[in-house]
Amino acid sequence: MELHPAAATLESVNLPRLRHELYFHHLGIPYEPEPLLKVLRERKPKTAIPAACHGLANLGAREAIPELKALADFCKADVKATSVLAIARLGGHEETSWLTDCLSAQGTDKGYVMWALAAVGDPAAYGAVRHWFEPILKKLEKDPDSDRRGRSVFAIAYLEQITDEHPEAMALLKRFHVVVPSLDLSIHTQLAQFTRSYARSKTGQA
């Protein structure tokens, strides 16, 4: 079965393995789970932490999940992002509960957490996603410019996947669709990239 765009795009944002290996070779760090885990544990070099997160996911190093979770509220935005995305790739449905907790946890990047949940596509996250998304949707209905970062995009990417299990999600999708024509062009671009409902061939009709 073809990957949903949120999951497929998550895979494509990662550097090809050879470039990753060369990057860590220049740093004198073997491209293996334990040395990359050491980067996470010691938090150095700091600039290498995001690449180490991606690398551990590329290597399928599930043993890295506890260390990755410890970075979800790290002080650097790119580390917060790459850690939760790596957890989604490594843990899938098994980490749904933890990812939904991140939607209400202090210090996490909710937009990237929502990307992770959309990539996993687990219907069990619906309650938490609805609770998180409804206030954002209400603001959008009053002010279409209220979501400049496009956090709603990944909520739509998630919701469109789980309507069989949760038919009531269609009401949220319909409300969002009414707002779409008023949204900034950058949000249209993200919708085309990360969702099926607003794929590039349909953006003119959105």
Res 11: pLDDT: 72
Considering only CA atoms, which of 201, 206, 149 is closest in space to residue 179? 206
Per-residue pLDDT tens over the stretch 20-34? 889 999 999 999 999
pLDDT band at 17 (very low <50, low <70, confident <90, very high): confident
Report the C-alpha gap between 174 and 102 in whole angstroms: 26
Single-letter amino acid code for the residue at 178: V
Helix axes of 17-26 and 49-58: crossing angle, nearest 10 degrees: 140
Residue range 65-90, pLDDT digits in tens:
999 999 999 999 999 999 999 999 99
- Two structure tokens written together for 36: 């990359």
Q: DSSP letter at 47?
A: G
pLDDT value, residue 204: 44
Residue 18's pLDDT band (boundaries 50, 70, 90)? Answer: confident
State pLDDT tens for residues 25-71. 999 999 999 999 999 999 999 999 999 999 999 999 999 999 999 99
pLDDT of residue 15: 57
All residues at 6 or more sequence positions from 6 whose CB lies less than 8 Å from its CB, including other chains: 115, 118, 119, 121, 154, 157, 158, 194, 195
Predicted confidence (pLDDT) per residue in 113-126, tens digit:
999 999 999 999 99
Tens digit of each residue's pLDDT (9 = 90 or more) over 146-201: 999 999 999 999 999 999 999 999 999 999 999 999 999 999 999 999 999 998 64
Confidence label for 206 from pLDDT (cuts 50, 70 and 90): very low
Residue 205: the pLDDT is 44
